[in-house]
Amino acid sequence: MKYDAQDCELVEKYQLTPTIYDFRLRNPALAALTKPGQFVQVLVPSKTLRRPISVCDVEGDVIRLVFEVRGEGTALMAQTRVGETVNIIAPLGHGFTLHPNEKTIFIGGGIGVPPMLYSAKQCGSNAIVINGFRHKEAVILEEDFRQAAGRVIITTDDGSYGIHGFVTQPLAEVIEGADRICACGPTPMLRNIAKMAQQYGVPCEVSLEQRMACGVGACLGCAVAVKDGDRVVYRHVCKDGPVFSSEAVAWDGEKPQPPAVKKEG
């Protein structure tokens, strides 16, 4: 079994901010399969499409999901009560390239922070975490990351907590000598991180998102433009991602071109 659709019991639920929820879902079989950086597709009663949510952590039999209420579907998800059942397809996609002995920088922006926890744990004291938020009230999972990683740096856009500014400021101070970078967050942030990684010659991977339907690579809905040699092609966040090499992502809006029609005769 690579993945399956199964029921899980919601065993713990917390509200971290006015819009962010922290769910712990028990399912031993699916938890055992789940690797850092993967995601799950959550069934929302009355909705046609499942909601793709990144795995925040795996704790024994439990898959931890930290998600933001963005629309009707996630608002319905947030109403689930402890003891109730949540159906998920898991685990999906593939995560970051991780080597526990390498100095690895994990960067999360906003709701891109939770997906980095399970990955950062794998590198323990070799993990440097930079998490960026809009303001102090939006800061989440600080203690979790402090327990998981060697060093944790927090930035806020308005300076109300931690370093005043974007994640790229502290990144400039720690990037030299780093073996790799893993990042998840808003596209402009990822684009800037990708640029810095290239300047310093540090391998960098980014976790992307896109509107998704099947979640398993069949419907081809969640396309993302990726460079493949000298071509640009559409790959899919659910099956080929959500993690992609930052050098492969077509950051400048390049689009695939149809193959040239072969002329006969």
Query: In the complex, which residues of this chain contact another protein (CB under 8 A)?
Result: 1-5, 43, 47-50, 73, 89, 210-225, 233-234, 239, 255-259, 261
State how far the Cα of 78 lies from the Cα of 14, in Å rounded to an integer. 10
For another protein, the closer of residues 161 and 234 by Cβ is: 234
State how far the Cα of 49 lies from the Cα of 41, in Å rounded to an integer. 9
For another protein, the closer of residues 163 and 216 by Cβ is: 216
State how far the Cα of 183 lies from the Cα of 208, in Å rounded to an integer. 9
For another protein, the closer of residues 158 and 228 by Cβ is: 228
For another protein, the closer of residues 43 and 174 by Cβ is: 43
Q: Smallest gap, in angstroms, from Cβ of residue 220 to another protein?
A: 5
State how far the Cα of 109 lies from the Cα of 132, in Å rounded to an integer. 5
Contacts of 77 (CB under 8 A, 6+ apart): 21, 42, 44, 51, 67, 69, 86
Q: Smallest gap, in angstroms, from Cβ of residue 91 to another protein?
A: 12
For another protein, the closer of residues 91 and 132 by Cβ is: 91
Give the H/E segment covering residue 33. helix 28-33
Give the H/E segment covering residue 146. helix 142-148
For another protein, the closer of residues 11 and 219 by Cβ is: 219
Burial 129-159 (b: 16+ CB within 10 A, else e): bbbbbeeeebbbbbebbeebbeebbbbbeee
Q: Smallest gap, in angstroms, from Cβ of residue 250 to another protein?
A: 11
Q: Smallest gap, in angstroms, from Cβ of residue 72 to another protein?
A: 9
Q: Smallest gap, in angstroms, from Cβ of residue 5 to another protein?
A: 5
Residue 25, burial from CB neighbour count under 10 angstroms (0-12, 13-18, 19+) = buried
